[in-house]
Copies of this chain bind each other. A is one copy, B any other.
Amino acid sequence: MKKVTILDIAKELNITFSTVARALNDHPAISKSTKEAVKKTAEKLGYSKNKIASSLRSGKSNIIGVLVPSLDVSFFSSVVHGIESIMNQHGYSILLYQSQESYKKEDKGIETLLNSRVDGIITSFAIDREDSTIFEEIISKNIPLTFFDRALYQLNAPSVTIDDYKGGYMATEHLIQSGYKKIVHITETRDLSIFKERLKGYLDALKAYNIPVNEDLILKGNLSLNFGKDCVKELTSRGIDFDAIFTLEDFTAMGVIQQLKSQQIRIPEEVGVIGFANEAFGSLVTPSLSTIDQQTHLMGQETAQLFLTMLKEGSFYKMAPQRIKLDPLLIVRESSKGPQL
């Protein structure tokens, strides 16, 4: 089965290949009858348009690069799900790259995407990235770039994130309003602004309700289920007085819950717990886990939409970039129902 080109169709119909090309692209100047004839023989011969050739000539690939830390993290796979669905509807394909949270792999990925002449890049960058020059290069080449979830605000690129500050504030306020007073926050050692924002929200909520900040109640480490367990162990062994825990994300919260249960500390009567991210397991565990939803589906859609808008504009980085901040959603479940009166 040798490959069929527009030339083969042209020969079959005794017209030139440029007429065929126009017919296949629904060019207005081509008569209805030739269009039909062309499409029929294309079908008959099993013609498949060579997008590589047309991309080379036209300078547009209709492919956009999506670069994320890892599809093994449900947050990212969920957003990518949304991005692919929307872009697909608009005739774009997704070239996928995972950085595995390593900026070196990310740099390599960006190079490959650029070599592939993607029409633009959508990304949430690696946790260990320290300088933004590679993204500046993309911008200076006038290639559309859109961030989601993790954004570099010093750059002139649009972004879709959730309001992590607000999320942190909401979680903390909810605990306070439920009657908790000595609220622990577990955060990250690694320097990522989204975690700092959540911490800020925590601090401001305490302030707003006139609760003094106690440094003993702010624990730092590397997020994981086991870290959550360790935090509870440390708090109890050091005899620190607390009645609620707000963790930077759900897996850590899960560790907290498991350890509290194993030490026979009742949730939510003795200690309230709230996480962040609304992982699938939160509604299924006992007690079910209160959390902050990050609206992953909405984020995927908004990101794709924002990117498409940018593409249409033509001259990308001229105006101030649009920065969409999605509202986090408070999901109240059993784990934060309030202390025993």
Q: Determine, out of A73-81, A183-191, A229-237, the stretch whose residues face the partner at the interface.
A: A73-81
Contact with B along A177-221 (1 / 0, CB 8 A): 000000000000000000000000000000000000000000000
Could you tell me the distance in whole angstroms from the C-beta of A290 to the nearest C-beta in chain B?
Answer: 15
Within 8 A of B (CB), among A94-145: 94-98, 100, 111-112, 114-117, 140-142
Residue A22 CB within 8 A of the other chain: no
> In chain B, what residue has the closest Cβ to A94?
B96
Q: How far is the CA of A301 from the CA of B141 in the complex (A)?
A: 36
Residue A1 CB within 8 A of the other chain: yes
Q: How far is the CA of A50 from the CA of B116 in the complex (A)?
A: 7
Q: Determine, out of A10-18, A37-45, A51-59, A318-326, the stretch whose residues face the partner at the interface.
A: A51-59
Residue A254 CB within 8 A of the other chain: yes
Q: How far is the CA of A71 from the CA of B80 in the complex (A)?
A: 7
Residues of B within 8 A of A140 (CB): 1
Residue A19 CB within 8 A of the other chain: no
Contact of A77 among B1, B61, B74 (CB under 8 A): B74
Q: Check A81–B85 contact: CB distance below 8 A.
A: no
Residue A305 CB within 8 A of the other chain: no
Residues of B within 8 A of A48 (CB): 111, 114-115
Q: Check B81–A71 contact: CB distance below 8 A.
A: yes
The contact size tier of chain A is 35 or more
Q: How far is the CA of A111 from the CA of B51 in the complex (A)?
A: 11
Residue A163 CB within 8 A of the other chain: no
Q: Check B1–A142 contact: CB distance below 8 A.
A: yes
Q: Determine, out of A150-158, A166-174, A276-284, A308-316, the stretch whose residues face the partner at the interface.
A: A276-284
Q: How far is the CA of A258 from the CA of B288 in the complex (A)?
A: 12
Could you tell me the distance in whole angstroms from the C-beta of A242 to the nearest C-beta in chain B?
Answer: 23
Residue A49 CB within 8 A of the other chain: yes
Residues of B within 8 A of A286 (CB): 285-286
Residue A70 CB within 8 A of the other chain: yes
Q: Check A51–B98 contact: CB distance below 8 A.
A: no
Q: Which residues of A contact B (CB under 8 A)?
A: 1, 48-53, 55-56, 61, 63, 66, 70-72, 74, 77-78, 80-81, 84-85, 88, 93-98, 100, 111-112, 114-117, 140-142, 254, 258, 279-281, 284-286
Return the 6 tightest CB-CB contacts between A and B, nearest first. Answer: A281-B281, A77-B77, A286-B286, A71-B81, A72-B81, A71-B77
Can you list 7 pairs linking A and B with CB atoms under 8 Å apart? Answer: A1-B142, A70-B81, A71-B71, A81-B98, A94-B96, A94-B97, A284-B284
